[in-house]
Structure 1
Amino acid sequence: VVEIKKSKKTESKFFSKLVGIDKDAFGDLEGQVFILKQFWKSKTNKIIVAQKNNSTSISGYACYYAQPDGSGYLMRIGVRKASQGKGIGRLLMNHMFKEFKGRLELDVSVDNTQAVNFYKRIGMTLAAEYVSSEGVAFYNFKSTKVN
Protein backbone atom coordinates (compact mmCIF):
# COMPACT_ATOMS: atom_id res chain seq x y z
CA VAL A 1 0.00 0.00 0.00
CA VAL A 2 1.31 3.44 -0.94
CA GLU A 3 0.48 6.54 1.10
CA ILE A 4 0.71 10.17 0.05
CA LYS A 5 2.40 12.27 2.72
CA LYS A 6 3.34 15.92 2.98
CA SER A 7 7.09 16.24 3.17
CA LYS A 8 8.55 18.31 5.96
CA LYS A 9 11.16 20.48 4.29
CA THR A 10 13.32 20.18 7.41
CA GLU A 11 13.88 16.52 6.55
CA SER A 12 17.03 16.85 4.45
CA LYS A 13 17.02 13.12 3.66
CA PHE A 14 13.94 13.75 1.50
CA PHE A 15 15.74 16.28 -0.69
CA SER A 16 18.39 13.81 -1.84
CA LYS A 17 15.63 11.25 -2.49
CA LEU A 18 13.68 13.79 -4.59
CA VAL A 19 16.76 14.50 -6.68
CA GLY A 20 17.25 10.74 -7.17
CA ILE A 21 13.63 10.27 -8.28
CA ASP A 22 13.88 13.28 -10.58
CA LYS A 23 17.01 11.93 -12.28
CA ASP A 24 15.45 8.47 -12.59
CA ALA A 25 12.23 9.87 -14.09
CA PHE A 26 13.68 12.57 -16.35
CA GLY A 27 17.38 11.77 -16.83
CA ASP A 28 20.18 14.07 -15.73
CA LEU A 29 18.88 17.46 -16.88
CA GLU A 30 20.78 20.72 -16.70
CA GLY A 31 19.58 22.82 -13.77
CA GLN A 32 17.28 20.20 -12.23
CA VAL A 33 19.02 20.21 -8.81
CA PHE A 34 18.90 24.02 -8.79
CA ILE A 35 15.17 24.02 -9.61
CA LEU A 36 14.38 21.49 -6.89
CA LYS A 37 16.57 23.38 -4.40
CA GLN A 38 14.72 26.66 -5.11
CA PHE A 39 11.42 24.89 -4.65
CA TRP A 40 12.65 23.26 -1.43
CA LYS A 41 13.71 26.64 0.04
CA SER A 42 10.41 28.40 -0.71
CA LYS A 43 8.10 28.91 2.26
CA THR A 44 4.91 28.79 0.13
CA ASN A 45 5.63 25.75 -2.03
CA LYS A 46 4.50 22.29 -0.92
CA ILE A 47 5.93 18.86 -1.59
CA ILE A 48 4.09 15.56 -1.28
CA VAL A 49 5.65 12.14 -1.61
CA ALA A 50 4.34 8.66 -2.42
CA GLN A 51 5.78 6.33 0.19
CA LYS A 52 5.18 2.65 0.89
CA ASN A 53 3.71 2.02 4.34
CA ASN A 54 6.33 1.37 7.02
CA SER A 55 9.12 2.19 4.58
CA THR A 56 11.48 5.05 3.84
CA SER A 57 11.29 4.23 0.12
CA ILE A 58 9.77 7.03 -1.95
CA SER A 59 8.37 6.14 -5.38
CA GLY A 60 7.19 9.59 -6.48
CA TYR A 61 6.73 13.23 -5.55
CA ALA A 62 4.89 16.39 -6.57
CA CYS A 63 5.89 20.03 -6.01
CA TYR A 64 3.06 22.56 -6.08
CA TYR A 65 1.65 25.75 -4.58
CA ALA A 66 -1.63 27.55 -3.99
CA GLN A 67 -2.40 30.36 -6.44
CA PRO A 68 -4.02 33.63 -5.29
CA ASP A 69 -7.45 32.46 -6.57
CA GLY A 70 -7.26 29.35 -4.35
CA SER A 71 -6.50 26.91 -7.16
CA GLY A 72 -3.35 24.80 -7.20
CA TYR A 73 -0.44 24.98 -9.60
CA LEU A 74 1.64 21.84 -10.19
CA MET A 75 5.29 22.77 -10.71
CA ARG A 76 6.76 19.30 -11.03
CA ILE A 77 5.77 15.68 -10.61
CA GLY A 78 8.10 12.71 -10.83
CA VAL A 79 7.67 8.96 -10.44
CA ARG A 80 10.51 6.42 -10.47
CA LYS A 81 10.61 4.48 -13.74
CA ALA A 82 10.07 1.19 -11.89
CA SER A 83 6.89 2.63 -10.33
CA GLN A 84 5.44 4.22 -13.47
CA GLY A 85 2.16 2.76 -14.69
CA LYS A 86 1.20 1.61 -11.18
CA GLY A 87 -1.09 4.48 -10.19
CA ILE A 88 1.47 6.54 -8.24
CA GLY A 89 1.08 9.63 -10.43
CA ARG A 90 -2.71 9.35 -10.19
CA LEU A 91 -2.49 9.12 -6.35
CA LEU A 92 -0.33 12.24 -6.23
CA MET A 93 -2.68 14.13 -8.58
CA ASN A 94 -5.77 13.02 -6.64
CA HIS A 95 -4.22 14.36 -3.43
CA MET A 96 -3.84 17.78 -5.07
CA PHE A 97 -7.33 17.62 -6.61
CA LYS A 98 -8.74 17.08 -3.11
CA GLU A 99 -6.65 19.84 -1.55
CA PHE A 100 -7.72 22.38 -4.18
CA LYS A 101 -11.29 21.12 -4.62
CA GLY A 102 -10.53 19.97 -8.16
CA ARG A 103 -9.02 23.28 -9.31
CA LEU A 104 -5.52 22.52 -10.54
CA GLU A 105 -3.34 23.93 -13.32
CA LEU A 106 -0.01 22.93 -14.86
CA ASP A 107 2.24 23.50 -17.85
CA VAL A 108 3.99 20.69 -19.72
CA SER A 109 6.30 20.58 -22.73
CA VAL A 110 4.44 19.51 -25.87
CA ASP A 111 7.31 17.06 -26.47
CA ASN A 112 6.53 15.19 -23.23
CA THR A 113 3.86 13.01 -24.83
CA GLN A 114 3.81 10.54 -21.93
CA ALA A 115 2.87 13.32 -19.49
CA VAL A 116 0.44 14.97 -21.94
CA ASN A 117 -1.41 11.66 -22.38
CA PHE A 118 -1.42 11.08 -18.61
CA TYR A 119 -3.00 14.49 -17.90
CA LYS A 120 -5.66 13.86 -20.56
CA ARG A 121 -6.41 10.39 -19.11
CA ILE A 122 -7.02 11.81 -15.64
CA GLY A 123 -9.48 14.36 -17.01
CA MET A 124 -7.47 17.55 -17.32
CA THR A 125 -8.41 19.92 -20.13
CA LEU A 126 -6.00 21.53 -22.58
CA ALA A 127 -6.53 25.25 -21.97
CA ALA A 128 -3.76 26.88 -24.02
CA GLU A 129 -0.59 26.37 -26.02
CA TYR A 130 2.32 28.81 -25.91
CA VAL A 131 6.02 29.15 -26.66
CA SER A 132 8.40 30.19 -23.86
CA SER A 133 11.02 32.93 -24.24
CA GLU A 134 13.55 30.09 -24.74
CA GLY A 135 11.54 28.86 -27.75
CA VAL A 136 10.07 25.77 -26.04
CA ALA A 137 6.42 24.92 -26.82
CA PHE A 138 4.18 24.19 -23.83
CA TYR A 139 0.61 23.12 -23.15
CA ASN A 140 -1.32 24.61 -20.26
CA PHE A 141 -3.74 22.14 -18.67
CA LYS A 142 -6.51 22.99 -16.22
CA SER A 143 -8.94 20.94 -14.22
CA THR A 144 -12.17 21.90 -12.54
CA LYS A 145 -13.18 18.37 -11.64
CA VAL A 146 -14.52 17.84 -8.15
CA ASN A 147 -13.09 14.97 -6.11
Structure 2
Amino acid sequence: MFKRAVSRRLAALLAASQLLLVAQVPVAQAAMIGTAEVLQAQQQQVDRQQLLSMLEDRGVQDKLASLGVERDQVEQRIQSLTNAELAQFNQQLSEAPAGGIIGIIVLFLVIFIITDLLCATDIFSFVKCINR
Protein backbone atom coordinates (compact mmCIF):
# COMPACT_ATOMS: atom_id res chain seq x y z
CA MET A 1 0.00 0.00 0.00
CA PHE A 2 2.85 2.34 0.89
CA LYS A 3 4.58 1.58 -2.42
CA ARG A 4 1.41 2.22 -4.34
CA ALA A 5 0.90 5.65 -2.69
CA VAL A 6 4.52 6.61 -3.36
CA SER A 7 4.21 5.42 -6.96
CA ARG A 8 1.05 7.49 -7.49
CA ARG A 9 2.66 10.61 -6.01
CA LEU A 10 5.78 10.07 -8.08
CA ALA A 11 3.68 9.56 -11.22
CA ALA A 12 1.69 12.72 -10.45
CA LEU A 13 4.90 14.67 -9.85
CA LEU A 14 6.43 13.44 -13.13
CA ALA A 15 3.24 14.24 -15.04
CA ALA A 16 3.14 17.76 -13.57
CA SER A 17 6.81 18.37 -14.41
CA GLN A 18 6.23 17.11 -17.95
CA LEU A 19 3.34 19.55 -18.37
CA LEU A 20 5.45 22.41 -17.03
CA LEU A 21 8.25 21.61 -19.47
CA VAL A 22 5.83 21.52 -22.40
CA ALA A 23 4.19 24.76 -21.30
CA GLN A 24 7.54 26.59 -21.27
CA VAL A 25 8.43 25.76 -24.86
CA PRO A 26 7.78 28.87 -26.96
CA VAL A 27 5.52 28.46 -29.93
CA ALA A 28 7.34 28.98 -33.20
CA GLN A 29 5.62 31.00 -35.85
CA ALA A 30 6.65 30.87 -39.44
CA ALA A 31 5.76 33.49 -41.99
CA MET A 32 6.69 34.13 -45.56
CA ILE A 33 9.14 36.92 -46.18
CA GLY A 34 8.36 38.88 -49.28
CA THR A 35 10.88 39.42 -52.02
CA ALA A 36 10.58 43.18 -51.59
CA GLU A 37 11.70 43.03 -47.95
CA VAL A 38 14.68 40.84 -48.81
CA LEU A 39 15.71 43.10 -51.69
CA GLN A 40 15.33 46.21 -49.55
CA ALA A 41 17.53 44.77 -46.80
CA GLN A 42 20.16 43.75 -49.35
CA GLN A 43 20.04 47.18 -51.02
CA GLN A 44 20.60 48.92 -47.69
CA GLN A 45 23.65 46.75 -47.02
CA VAL A 46 25.01 47.51 -50.51
CA ASP A 47 24.37 51.24 -50.00
CA ARG A 48 26.30 51.23 -46.71
CA GLN A 49 29.18 49.36 -48.29
CA GLN A 50 29.20 51.81 -51.20
CA LEU A 51 29.49 54.76 -48.81
CA LEU A 52 32.20 53.06 -46.79
CA SER A 53 34.15 52.27 -49.96
CA MET A 54 34.06 55.97 -50.89
CA LEU A 55 36.19 56.63 -47.82
CA GLU A 56 39.03 54.77 -49.52
CA ASP A 57 39.35 57.54 -52.13
CA ARG A 58 42.40 59.72 -51.55
CA GLY A 59 40.53 62.93 -52.41
CA VAL A 60 37.85 62.16 -49.87
CA GLN A 61 40.45 61.36 -47.21
CA ASP A 62 42.25 64.65 -47.93
CA LYS A 63 38.99 66.60 -47.70
CA LEU A 64 38.08 64.94 -44.40
CA ALA A 65 41.55 65.66 -43.04
CA SER A 66 41.31 69.32 -44.08
CA LEU A 67 37.99 69.59 -42.24
CA GLY A 68 39.45 67.92 -39.15
CA VAL A 69 37.18 64.87 -39.24
CA GLU A 70 38.49 61.43 -38.44
CA ARG A 71 37.62 58.56 -40.73
CA ASP A 72 36.41 56.43 -37.82
CA GLN A 73 33.81 59.03 -36.92
CA VAL A 74 32.49 59.04 -40.49
CA GLU A 75 32.35 55.23 -40.54
CA GLN A 76 30.42 55.18 -37.27
CA ARG A 77 27.98 57.75 -38.60
CA ILE A 78 27.44 55.78 -41.82
CA GLN A 79 26.72 52.67 -39.77
CA SER A 80 24.21 54.59 -37.61
CA LEU A 81 22.25 56.08 -40.54
CA THR A 82 18.60 55.16 -40.63
CA ASN A 83 17.24 53.46 -43.71
CA ALA A 84 15.54 56.67 -44.86
CA GLU A 85 18.71 58.75 -44.39
CA LEU A 86 20.74 56.14 -46.22
CA ALA A 87 18.33 56.05 -49.15
CA GLN A 88 18.23 59.85 -49.37
CA PHE A 89 22.00 60.15 -49.18
CA ASN A 90 22.58 57.54 -51.88
CA GLN A 91 19.96 59.14 -54.12
CA GLN A 92 21.79 62.46 -53.85
CA LEU A 93 25.04 60.65 -54.52
CA SER A 94 23.70 58.98 -57.66
CA GLU A 95 22.37 62.30 -58.97
CA ALA A 96 25.65 64.11 -58.35
CA PRO A 97 28.17 64.48 -61.17
CA ALA A 98 31.29 62.33 -61.07
CA GLY A 99 33.36 65.12 -59.50
CA GLY A 100 30.62 65.88 -56.98
CA ILE A 101 31.75 63.32 -54.45
CA ILE A 102 33.55 66.03 -52.49
CA GLY A 103 30.32 68.04 -52.48
CA ILE A 104 28.46 65.06 -51.08
CA ILE A 105 31.07 64.68 -48.35
CA VAL A 106 30.66 68.35 -47.49
CA LEU A 107 26.89 67.80 -47.34
CA PHE A 108 27.49 64.86 -45.03
CA LEU A 109 29.65 67.06 -42.78
CA VAL A 110 26.92 69.71 -42.70
CA ILE A 111 24.55 66.99 -41.50
CA PHE A 112 27.10 66.14 -38.78
CA ILE A 113 27.25 69.77 -37.69
CA ILE A 114 23.45 70.03 -37.54
CA THR A 115 23.22 66.85 -35.45
CA ASP A 116 25.93 68.27 -33.16
CA LEU A 117 23.94 71.49 -32.78
CA LEU A 118 20.86 69.48 -31.84
CA CYS A 119 22.87 67.45 -29.29
CA ALA A 120 22.21 64.21 -31.18
CA THR A 121 25.93 63.60 -31.70
CA ASP A 122 29.22 64.96 -30.38
CA ILE A 123 31.60 64.74 -33.32
CA PHE A 124 33.03 68.25 -33.57
CA SER A 125 34.44 69.88 -30.45
CA PHE A 126 34.02 73.38 -31.90
CA VAL A 127 30.23 72.98 -32.31
CA LYS A 128 28.28 73.85 -29.17
CA CYS A 129 24.95 72.22 -28.41
CA ILE A 130 22.04 74.71 -28.58
CA ASN A 131 19.96 72.82 -25.99
CA ARG A 132 22.37 73.34 -23.10
- TM range, normalised to the smaller chain? 0.3 to 0.5
Structure ranking higher in strand proportion: 1
- Structure possessing the higher radius of gyration over alpha carbons: 2
Higher relative contact order by CA 8 Å / sep ≥ 6: 1 or 2?
Answer: 1
TM-score, normalisation: structure 1: 0.30
TM-score, normalisation: structure 2: 0.32
